[in-house]
């Protein structure tokens, strides 16, 4: 199957989920919502993901895993979980004996993704792992192998594949609304203020803005163009005297070349707020700003500017978070592969490693195996 055809199918499936339909994924078991264990009660796991089970049709919260027993008990009590649904990082492996838990959702710092994904698979659980999938290609490959060996599903938390505006932009791009797509610009960043944050510690983050916000820029370039890049050229700009950036990069700017001749200019940074995606075709443009936020995203189409605001078809439907949680649950029930599988995370990590290498060596890195 060609990449473009694969992505068309993925987008169509995701559109159905985004609109709140589970029918696209075939037989599910309406009698039982699948149980998730959330690993890591930090800002994303606790404040963003856990409240979203209220919007789910096929998923429910079944357990929490935390290093803070007081917090774990408080969250469990607030959500009606039994004591058997509370784990520490030390007792995590005994989750294998809990039939209430079908899926483990890893919401930990990046460098812990691989270890907890592999432990979850060994405990017989399916895995939803946050982005970036891990901190190296080798870790991604080990995670995929562990899930395959245990015959468990592995999905990456690429929520934008369930976000209504991104899905509509993909649909418009694929149906030629802007003509032949020649260029995508995708920029993501925020001001990272606290030098003590794990995101600025290489041992936990694996890298700087690229590992965090750059993943959105890279993903958008790939899913908007619908092809795999064949070469990358990157440059870095970091003030190493700034105490925030002694270990990881601030800003990366990279250009991806695609087989059709399309190009993508991508950026990530930790020193300014930005969140936008622009698609330029030979017959018009599609623009999203903000593009990949939790909510409040906006979109326009036009010839030269933002001529017409676009709403996604059918309104907002299910939230992107509930869409992603239910997608994996229905994949588990129906035996289908998630549209954003471990292989998709691995593809990104191969490009991430090439971006860093290009910036370090000051040259273009080929991604298609050609010298």
Q: Which residues bind ligand NAD (CB under 6 A)?
A: 40-45, 67, 107-110, 112, 130-131, 157, 159, 198, 204, 212
Question: Among residues 275, 168, 297, which one has the least CA distance to residue 213?
Answer: 275
Q: Which of 216, 223, 270, 356 is catalytic?
A: 216
Select 92 or 356, whichever has its Cβ closest to ligand NAD: 92
Q: CB of 296: closest distance to ligand NAD in angstroms?
A: 14
Separation CA 293–CA 289 (nearest Å): 9
Q: Catalytic annotation on 87?
A: no
Separation CA 306–CA 288 (nearest Å): 10
Q: CB of 226: closest distance to ligand NAD in angstroms?
A: 22
The alpha helices in the chain, defined as continuous H runs, are 3-18, 69-78, 113-122, 137-149, 164-174, 202-205, 209, 215-225, 320-334, 342-361
Q: Which of 33, 131, 153, 318 is catalytic?
A: 131
Structure letter (DSSP) for residue 214: I
38, 50 in Cβ contact below 8 A?
yes
Q: CB of 77: closest distance to ligand NAD in angstroms?
A: 18
Select 55 or 364, whichever has its Cβ closest to ligand NAD: 55
Separation CA 216–CA 235 (nearest Å): 18
Return phi, psi of residue 126, to 5°.
-75, 160
Question: Among residues 127, 147, 112, 121, which one has the least CA distance to residue 37?
Answer: 127
Select 9 or 78, whichever has its Cβ closest to ligand NAD: 78
Q: Catalytic annotation on 165?
A: no
Structure letter (DSSP) for residue 108: S
Select 111 or 329, whichever has its Cβ closest to ligand NAD: 111
Question: Minimal CB distance to ligand NAD: which residue?
Answer: 42
| SS3 label, residue 133 | coil
Whole-angstrom Cα Rg for the chain: 20
Select 223 or 258, whichever has its Cβ closest to ligand NAD: 223
The alpha helices in 19-95, defined as continuous H runs, are 69-78
Q: CB of 241: closest distance to ligand NAD in angstroms?
A: 26
Select 43 or 151, whichever has its Cβ closest to ligand NAD: 43
Q: CB of 114: closest distance to ligand NAD in angstroms?
A: 11
Q: CB of 277: closest distance to ligand NAD in angstroms?
A: 15
- List, by residue number, the catalytic residues: 131, 216
């Amino acid at each position: 199957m060609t990449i473009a055809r694969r992505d068309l199918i993925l987008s169509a499936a995701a559109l159905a989920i985004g609109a709140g339909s589970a029918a696209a994924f075939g037989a599910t078991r309406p009698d039982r919502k699948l149980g998730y264990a959330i690993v890591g009660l930090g800002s994303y796991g606790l404040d963003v993901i856990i409240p979203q089970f209220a919007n789910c049709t096929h998923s429910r919260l079944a357990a929490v895993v935390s290093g803070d027993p007081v917090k774990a008990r408080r969250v469990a009590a607030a959500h009606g979980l039994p004591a058997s649904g509370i784990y520490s990082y030390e007792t995590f492996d005994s989750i294998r004996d809990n039939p209430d838990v079908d899926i483990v959702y890893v919401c930990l710092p990046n460098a812990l993704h691989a270890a907890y994904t592999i432990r979850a698979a060994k405990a017989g659980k399916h895995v939803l792992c946050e982005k970036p999938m891990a901190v190296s290609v080798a870790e991604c490959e080990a995670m995929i192998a562990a899930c395959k060996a245990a015959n468990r599903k592995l999905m990456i938390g690429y929520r934008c594949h369930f976000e209504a505006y991104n899905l509509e932009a993909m649909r418009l791009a694929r149906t030629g609304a802007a003509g032949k797509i020649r260029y995508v610009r995708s920029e993501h960043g925020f001001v990272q203020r606290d030098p003590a944050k794990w995101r600025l510690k290489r041992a936990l983050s694996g890298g700087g803005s690229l590992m965090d916000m750059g993943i959105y820029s890279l993903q958008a370039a790939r899913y908007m163009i619908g092809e795999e890049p064949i070469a990358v050229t990157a440059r870095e700009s970091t003030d190493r005297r700034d105490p925030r950036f002694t270990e990881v990069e601030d800003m990366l700017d990279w250009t991806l070349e695609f087989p059709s001749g399309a190009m993508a200019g991508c950026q990530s940074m930790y020193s300014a707020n930005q969140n936008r995606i622009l698609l330029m075709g030979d017959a018009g443009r599609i623009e999203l700003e903000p593009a990949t936020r939790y909510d409040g995203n906006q979109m326009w189409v036009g010839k030269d500017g933002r001529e017409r605001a676009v709403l996604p078809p059918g309104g907002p439907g299910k939230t992107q978070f509930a869409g992603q949680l239910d997608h994996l649950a229905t994949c588990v029930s129906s035996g289908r592969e998630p549209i954003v599988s471990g292989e998709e995370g691995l593809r990104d990590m191969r490009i991430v490693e090439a971006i860093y290498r290009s910036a370090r060596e000051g040259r273009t890195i080929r991604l298609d195996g050609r010298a």
